[in-house]
Amino acid sequence: MKHFIKTILLSGAIILASCASQQSLQEYYVDNSENPNFLSIDVPASILKMDGVDLSPTQKEAVESLRKFNLLAFKKNTDNVAEYEIEKKKIREILKGDHFVELMKINSQYGKGVIKYLGDEDAIEEVIIYGDSKEKGFAVVRVLGKDMNPAHIMQLMQALQKSDYKGEGLGEIGDFLKG
């Protein structure tokens, strides 16, 4: 009986600890995909239209390591400023997690951001690009792939510059991200 009670108490403690854990990025995406203040889209990597683009072998490897993109953007307006601040704080808190490795910070005329990744340095499974703008809102892009590495990110950016891709197929999120 004593063993049974210890088992129940231990199970309860584990359940409570897991319930108190921080929300994951995936959960954040799911929870906000229907929120009218957010724009959400999942797209296959093939949308980048890299076929026929003259790529170096390294750039080609970078493109082939991609599977899909999950984009989530909070579109700020005069009616949702308070919610924008709350949501921005939530997403920044999630991205502070120990499991995210920072690759680089971004500071441009459009706003501030960060690029982080999940996984091992030689086998990255997910790259997270976050950026916010005081005027427009914020966006989080999850780049999902297989065995990506940090060099792939720079190679991918160079490959995209060679392509004719201008955000087609992204709808309202494409317009939001452009500017």
Question: Domain coordinates of the chain in residue numbers?
Answer: 23-178
Angle at 23 between CA 97 and CA 68, to 5 degrees: 80
Determine contact, residues 26/95, Cβ cutoff 8 Å. Answer: no
Q: How far is 176 from 179, CA to CA, in rounded Å? A: 6
Q: How far is 57 from 124, CA to CA, in rounded Å? A: 19
Q: How many CB atoms lie within 10 A of CB 84?
A: 20
DSSP symbols for 57-76: HHHHHHHHTEEEEEEEEEE-
Q: What is the pLDDT of residue 19?
A: 43
State the 10-residue block means of pLDDT for the chain, 179 residues long.
44 42 84 93 78 77 82 94 96 91 84 86 84 92 82 68 57 53
pTM for this model (two decimals): 0.74
Helix crossing, 81-95 with 25-32: angle to 10°? 160
Q: What is the pLDDT of residue 80?
A: 95
Angle at 41 between CA 177 and CA 157, to 5 degrees: 50
Q: What is the pLDDT of residue 162?
A: 62
